[in-house]
Amino acid sequence: MQESRAVHRSQTTGSAKLPGHFYLISLVALLAAVLTWFIWSAPVRPRTVWLGGGWVFGVAFYFGALRYPDLYWRTLERWYHELGSPRYFYRFSGLWLPWLVGIAVVLCLTGLIWGLAFAPPHHEQGNSYRIIYLHVPASSAALMGYMAMGVAGLVALVWRLKMAEIMIKAIAPFGAVMAAISLISGAIWGRPTWGTYWIWDARLTSMLILLFLYLGVIALQNAIRDPRQAGRAASLLSVVGVINVVIVRYSVDWWQSLHQGSSMSMFGTAGSAIHPSMLAPLLLSMFGIYFLYAVTVLIRARTEILWRERKSNWVREEVS
């Protein structure tokens, strides 16, 4: 199948004049950063880690986009073509996949074994707190997945990138599973902490709504027969959903304060400070889950690419 796509921008030569896309991308990046910060729910004390990450990203962006616009735009344009084209994506992801699998397995195993077996017990909750090594990574992966779907949806709607639609389809089921794991592990954790499996805690309620949002996207995708149309519809719903997630989170927090229900404080009343010996395995397992996420998404995206392009010559060659 021919890739017919107009290149909107030709080469930028001077650094004086910034192209229109720059503002859009900056806006999206800023929005994503703000959303991530706002919604970040992990009880990890060093939120500064993430703010620092944001700084690194911002500085890189500044030097990339403002100081060396030529290089920046050329790289961006190459990515746009390579990652935007299913064929290239298939080839590149095939190269990355073994590495990602390796990293994911190592990180997950180290993080989980360290956290479950070797990290010190909590002074109030004893050993029951150890479920955070599953609960927290799953929660944050579910949330990040939805954010990623929103960004992919925006890209799919604005630039009509087929790959972005494929990514949404690839992300949604894993995100839903992560949300479900987060809910189940939260319930299991709730039993020793609150004496009951379910409480309408703000965090658990938000996660439940997130699961509903995921299920909505999946249901819409399954209901529409034409995959291209389904992809665009799911993109729109993801974008609407991401805006909504922000408001949901705010509203649920407010609702909680209104009814003064019990809130799960993960580390007791002493504040959310977490000892480094507990934090290190948590971060490891969190990144492990992220890499696992990437692996799953890539595999699903590759399958979807093969399915969508099954009539094209390169897929025939690839498969035979």
Site residues (vs other proteins, CB under 8 A): 1-2, 4, 157, 209, 212-213, 215-216, 219-220, 223-226, 228-229, 232-233, 236-237, 239-241, 243-244, 247-248, 250-252, 254-255, 258
Q: How far apart are CA 255 and CA 184, in angstroms?
A: 22
For other proteins, the closer CB: 115 or 175: 175
Q: How far apart are CA 234 and CA 205, in angstroms?
A: 23
CB of 207 to other proteins, least distance (A): 12
For other proteins, the closer CB: 107 or 155: 155
For other proteins, the closer CB: 199 or 224: 224
| CB-based contact 216:241 (threshold 8 Å) | yes
CB of 102 to other proteins, least distance (A): 37
Per DSSP, the chain holds a count of helices (H) and strands (E) of 10, 0
CB of 35 to other proteins, least distance (A): 15
For other proteins, the closer CB: 105 or 218: 218
Tell me how far the alpha carbon of residue 213 is from its chain's centroid: 14
Q: How far apart are CA 20 and CA 115, in angstroms?
A: 47
CB of 240 to other proteins, least distance (A): 6
Buried b (16+ CB within 10 A) or exposed e, 260-299: eeeeeebbeeeeeebeeebbebbbbbbbbbbbbbbbbbbb
According to DSSP, residue 121 is labeled P
For other proteins, the closer CB: 59 or 219: 219
For other proteins, the closer CB: 186 or 241: 241
| CB-based contact 277:69 (threshold 8 Å) | no
CB of 239 to other proteins, least distance (A): 8
CB of 211 to other proteins, least distance (A): 9
